[in-house]
C-alpha cells in the first residue's frame, strides 16, 4: 500500500515521488497565530518582501495571547492586524485555538497541503489534510511563494483494532499511542493511522490522535477520509474535491505498530516527556494544585462533557484550581447550551476564554513545586510556569476525578 | 563551507530530547529578539551563557529541539554565539528553523562520540561533506546537507533566497 503522504505529494508534484526526495509543492492553506503572526510580518518586512502569493489562502488566528494581558502583547497583535489588513488576510480573534478553528470551519481540504505556524498544526491530519507545523520564517516563505519545500517523509503506520472499553476514552488512546511509539519513534516521519479500530472513533477522538503526532517527532499525522469524516466536513461547508487522494485504510495490512483499543486503560504521562506513560492505577500518589481541562488536545465539547459527568453535583477539593479552557467559541456555546458549563462552574471550575489557556502557563501558571494534571499534549519541564513545577497529562475524566480529591492516585482510575 | 569553533557539550540530563520550551521558556517569547539570549536554557542550565563562553558549536544527543515550533529557540542560541548544532537527530521543525535563520544543524552519525565529546574541543565542520575535524582525534562523520539545503544556507536562509529569487521554490 502506498503511504498517504506519498500519494498526496505525487499528485501535487505531478510525478511519482519517493521518501527522502527533495520536492517543492503548492500549499493550499496557511495559518499563523498571535505568536507567529507578528514574527511573520516583521520577518517579511526585514527582507523587503511585500508581494505575497498565498495571502488569499492565509488565515491568522489569535489564540495564545488573546485577549492580550500586557501592552506588549496588544502591540504585537496590532502589528499582525495591520499586516493582515494590508494583505487582505482574515483575522479570527477570540474564536478559539487555530487547530480547532481550521477544522471546525472546514478551512482545510483533505488531500492537500496545509502549513501552520505552530507545531500542533498536525491536528488537521484527522480530516485527511497533510498538515505540517512550521516556524515563523518558514511560514513567511510559504506566504510569499505559495510553496513549501519538503523531504518526502517516510511513514510509520499505526494500526488500530478493536474497540475502547467503557470508562476509557480517546485521550487514553492517544497517550497509549505516544507511549508505544515514543517521543522519537516517528522522528521526521508521517504517522499514518490505519485499521478497523478507526471506524469506532468519533472525530473528536481522531483529532486527539493526530494532535499528538508531533509528540512522537512526526512531521504530520494522517487519518484517511471515511463517510463519518466526509459527512462531518460537508456539514461544515468543507470542500471534498481531493478527498479521494486519502481514503481511510481500514485494513492496515503490514502496519509497523498495532494497538488493541480493547486493551487500553486509563493512562497518565508523567513529567517531563509525553511518552512517560503509565496506567493511572499504578501511579505514585501526589498532591495536585491545578487541573486544566482544555487545549487543542483536550478542550473539545466531548472533553468538557466527559469532565462534567464526573463533576455533576460535586465540589472540587479546597485549594485546587480547576481551569476549563474551551478549544473554541463554538465549543463554549455548545457547552453553555447543554448545561455543561453550569455543571462545571457549580463544581468550582474557572472558565477561561476560548484559546490555548493554561497549556503554556498563561491564565493558570504554576508556582515552584506545584503539580498540575492537564488534558493538554505537553508536559515539558517549566512548560506551564516554574521550572520546578510538574505536569501530568491525562484524560478529562481522570483530570476531573483528580480535581475532586486534589490528589493523583490509583483512585483516579475508578 | 566550513565553520571552526570550540565545542560545548550539553550536560546531562539536558542532552537527549531537549525541547524548545527548555531552550527558551514560553514567558520570554514576546521579548525583543536581542534579549532572547539572556534566557537561553534558563531553568535547565544555570549560568548557561557563562558556561558556554566563546564556544560556538553546541553538542547534543537525540531529538534536539523537539516540541514547540518557536523559532525564538534557534534565535536565542544564535544570540549566545552558537553557529552550529551537532546532534544525533533533530526535531523536524527546529531543523528547518535553524537552517532558515543561519544556525547550521548537522546530524552526526557517530552518536557515541557526541556523548563522549569534551567541552572546549576545537572542531571544524564542513557542512557540504558532513565531515567534522576533531582537534587531537579522528574526524566525526555527519550527514551532509544536500545541494538544496546548502542553497538555503548559502543564501543566509529561506527568505534571503526568496528575496533574491522569488521563484526559488517554483
The pLDDT tens digits of the residues spanning B33-75 come to 999 999 999 999 999 999 999 999 999 999 999 999 999 999 9
Q: Which positions ≥6 away from B138 have C-beta within 8 Å?
A: none
The secondary structure element, H or E, covering residue B137 is none
| A54 neighbors A117 (Cβ within 8 angstroms) | no
Closest Cα partner for A400 from A305, A332, A318? A305
Strand B84-87 and strand B57-59: the pairing is parallel
- Cβ-nearest to B22 among A119, A217, A380: A380
- Cβ-nearest to A137 among B17, B42, B158: B158
Q: Which residues of B touch A20 (CB under 8 A)?
A: none
Helix (H, G, I), strand (E, B) or coil at B97: helix
| B90 neighbors B105 (Cβ within 8 angstroms) | yes
| A386 neighbors A380 (Cβ within 8 angstroms) | no
- Residues of chain B whose beta carbon is less than 8 angstroms from a beta carbon of chain A are 17, 19, 21-22, 25-27, 29-30, 42-44, 62-63, 66-71, 89, 91-93, 96-97, 100-101, 146, 148-149, 157-160, 162-163, 166-170
How far apart CA A170 and CA A173 sit, in angstroms, is: 5
Number of H helices, E strands in chain A: 13, 20
How far apart CA B111 and CA A51 sit, in angstroms, is: 44
- Flag if A137 and B71 touch (Cβ within 8 Å): yes
Beta strands in A104-212 (DSSP E): 113-116, 130-133, 147-151, 155-161, 190-194
User: How would you classify residue A402: left for phi > 0, otherwise alpha for psi between -120 and 50, otherwise beta?
Assistant: alpha
Q: In terms of CA atoms, which chain A residue is nearest residue B45?
A: A387
- Flag if A135 and B96 touch (Cβ within 8 Å): yes
- Cβ-nearest to B91 among A48, A137, A217: A217
Preceding peptide of A3 cis, ω within 30°:
no
Q: Which residues of B touch A141 (CB under 8 A)?
A: 100, 158-159, 162, 169
- Flag if A135 and B63 touch (Cβ within 8 Å): no
Q: In terms of CA atoms, which chain A residue is nearest residue B101?
A: A137
Q: Which residues of A touch B149 (CB under 8 A)?
A: 22
Q: Which residues of A touch B67 (CB under 8 A)?
A: 119, 214, 378, 380
CA distance B135 to chain A (A): 31
CA distance A14 to chain B (A): 13
- Cβ-nearest to A361 among B26, B44, B97: B26
pLDDT of residue A300: 98
User: Which among A380, A387, A393 is the top mutation candidate for probing chain B, defined by the most B β-carbons within 10 Å of its own β-carbon?
Assistant: A380
Preceding peptide of A67 cis, ω within 30°:
yes
| A198 neighbors A248 (Cβ within 8 angstroms) | yes
Closest Cα partner for A147 from B131, B166, B89? B166
The average pLDDT across B119-136 equals 97
All residue ranges of chain A with pLDDT < 70 are none
How many CB atoms lie under 10 A from the CB of residue A65?
A: 24
Could you give the strand order of the β-sheet that contains B2-9, starting from the edge strand earlier in sequence? B104-107, B84-87, B57-59, B2-9, B122-126, B131-134, B140-141
User: How would you classify residue A341: left for phi > 0, otherwise alpha for psi between -120 and 50, otherwise beta?
Assistant: alpha
How far apart CA B32 and CA A112 sit, in angstroms, is: 35
C-alpha cell of residue A382:
517549566
CA distance B66 to chain A (A): 7
Cα–Cα distances (Å) from A265 to A169, A179, A204, A235, A277, in that order, read 9, 12, 19, 33, 11
How far apart CA A259 and CA A278 sit, in angstroms, is: 16
pLDDT of residue A1: 86
Q: Per DSSP, what are the bridge partners of residue B66?
A: B19
How far apart CA A106 and CA A103 sit, in angstroms, is: 5
- Tell me the longest C-alpha to C-alpha distance in chain A: 62
- Flag if A24 and B170 touch (Cβ within 8 Å): yes
C-alpha cell of residue A336:
453553555
Q: Which residues of B touch A133 (CB under 8 A)?
A: 69, 93
- Give, to the nearest 10 degrees, the angle between helix A203-211 and helix A227-235: 100
By 3-state DSSP, what share of chain B in percent is helix, strand and coil, each rounded to 5? 35, 20, 45
| Average pLDDT, rounded, for chain B | 97
Q: Per DSSP, what are the bridge partners of residue A151?
A: A22
- Cβ-nearest to A387 among B43, B66, B70: B43
- Cβ-nearest to A217 among B21, B66, B170: B66
pLDDT of residue A363: 87
CA distance B51 to chain A (A): 19
Number of H helices, E strands in chain B: 7, 7
- Flag if A187 and B91 touch (Cβ within 8 Å): yes
How far apart CA A339 and CA A305 sit, in angstroms, is: 9
For chains A and B, CB pairs below 8 A equal 127
- Cβ-nearest to A118 among B19, B69, B97: B69
- SS3 letters for A140-153? HHHHHHCEEEEECC
User: Which among B96, B98, B105, B162 is the top mutation candidate for probing chain A, defined by the most A β-carbons within 10 Å of its own β-carbon?
Assistant: B96
Distance of CA B41 to the CA centre of its chain: 14
C-alpha cell of residue B152:
538555503
Q: Which residues of A touch B89 (CB under 8 A)?
A: 184, 187-188
Amino acid at each position: 500500500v502506498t503511504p498517504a503522504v506519498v500519494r498526496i505529494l505525487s499528485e501535487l508534484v505531478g510525478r511519482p515521488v519517493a521518501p527522502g526526495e527533495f520536492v517543492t509543492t503548492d500549499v493550499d492553506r496557511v495559518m499563523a497565530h498571535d505568536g507567529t503572526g507578528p514574527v511573520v510580518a516583521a520577518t517579511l518586512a526585514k527582507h523587503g518582501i511585500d508581494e505575497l502569493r498565498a495571502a488569499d489562502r492565509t488565515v491568522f488566528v489569535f489564540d495564545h495571547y488573546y485577549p492580550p494581558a500586557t501592552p506588549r502583547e496588544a502591540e504585537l497583535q496590532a502589528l499582525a492586524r495591520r499586516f493582515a489588513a494590508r494583505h487582505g488576510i482574515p483575522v479570527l480573534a477570540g474564536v478559539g485555538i487555530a487547530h480547532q478553528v481550521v477544522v471546525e470551519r472546514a478551512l482545510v481540504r483533505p488531500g492537500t497541503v496545509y502549513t501552520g505556524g505552530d507545531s500542533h498544526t498536525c491536528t488537521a491530519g484527522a480530516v485527511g489534510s497533510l498538515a505540517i507545523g512550521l516556524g515563523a520564517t518558514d511560514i513567511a516563505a510559504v506566504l510569499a511563494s505559495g510553496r513549501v519545500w519538503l523531504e518526502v517523509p517516510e511513514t510509520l503506520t499505526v494500526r488500530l483494532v478493536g474497540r475502547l472499553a467503557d470508562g476509557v476514552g480517546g485521550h487514553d488512546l492517544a497517550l497509549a499511542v505516544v507511549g508505544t511509539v515514543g517521543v522519537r519513534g516517528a522522528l521526521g516521519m508521517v504517522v499514518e493511522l490505519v485499521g478497523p479500530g478507526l471506524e469506532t472513533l468519533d472525530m473528536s477522538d481522531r483529532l486527539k490522535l493526530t494532535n499528538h503526532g508531533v509528540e512522537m517527532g512526526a512531521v504530520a499525522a494522517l487519518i484517511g477520509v471515511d463517510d463519518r469524516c466526509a459527512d462531518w466536513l460537508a456539514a461544515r461547508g468543507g470542500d471534498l474535491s481531493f478527498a479521494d487522494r486519502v481514503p481511510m485504510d481500514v485494513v492496515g495490512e503490514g502496519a509497523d505498530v498495532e494497538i488493541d483499543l480493547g486493551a487500553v486503560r486509563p493512562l497518565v504521562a508523567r513529567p517531563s516527556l509525553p511518552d512517560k506513560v503509565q496506567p493511572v492505577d499504578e501511579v505514585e500518589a501526589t498532591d495536585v494544585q491545578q487541573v486544566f481541562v482544555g487545549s487543542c488536545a483536550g478542550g473539545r465539547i466531548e472533553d468538557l462533557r466527559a469532565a462534567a459527568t464526573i463533576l455533576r453535583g460535586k465540589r472540587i477539593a479546597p485549594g485546587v484550581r480547576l481551569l476549563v479552557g474551551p478549544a473554541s467559541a463554538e465549543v463554549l456555546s455548545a457547552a453553555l447550551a447543554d448545561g455543561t458549563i453550569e455543571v462545571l462552574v457549580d463544581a468550582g471550575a474557572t472558565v477561561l476564554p476560548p484559546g490555548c489557556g493554561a497549556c503554556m502557563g498563561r491564565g493558570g501558571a504554576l508556582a515552584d513545586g506545584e503539580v498540575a494534571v492537564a488534558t493538554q499534549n505537553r508536559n515539558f519541564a517549566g512548560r506551564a510556569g516554574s521550572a520546578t513545577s510538574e505536569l501530568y497529562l491525562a484524560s478529562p475524566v481522570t483530570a476531573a476525578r483528580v480535581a475532586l480529591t486534589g490528589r493523583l492516585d490509583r483512585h483516579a482510575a475508578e | 563551507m566550513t565553520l571552526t569553533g570550540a565545542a560545548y557539550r550539553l550536560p546531562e540530563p539536558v542532552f537527549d530530547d531537549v525541547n524548545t520550551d527548555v531552550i527558551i521558556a514560553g514567558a520570554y517569547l514576546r521579548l525583543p529578539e536581542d534579549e532572547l539570549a539572556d534566557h537561553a536554557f534558563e531553568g535547565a542550565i544555570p549560568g548557561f551563557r557563562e558556561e558556554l563562553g566563546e564556544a560556538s558549536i553546541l553538542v547534543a544527543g537525540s531529538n534536539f529541539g523537539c516540541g514547540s515550533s518557536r523559532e525564538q529557540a534557534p534565535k536565542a542560541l544564535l544570540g549566545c554565539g552558537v553557529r552550529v548544532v551537532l546532534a544525533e537527530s533533530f526535531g523536524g521543525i527546529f531543523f528547518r528553523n535553524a537552517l532558515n535563520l543561519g544556525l547550521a544543524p548537522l546530524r552526526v552519525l557517530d552518536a557515541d562520540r557526541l556523548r563522549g565529546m569534551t567541552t572546549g574541543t576545537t572542531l571544524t565542520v564542513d557542512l557540504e561533506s558532513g565531515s567534522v575535524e576533531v582537534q587531537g582525534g579522528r574526524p566525526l562523520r555527519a550527514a551532509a546537507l544536500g545541494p538544496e539545503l546548502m542553497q538555503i544556507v548559502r543564501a543566509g536562509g529561506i527568505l534571503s533566497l526568496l528575496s533574491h529569487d522569488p521563484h526559488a521554490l517554483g
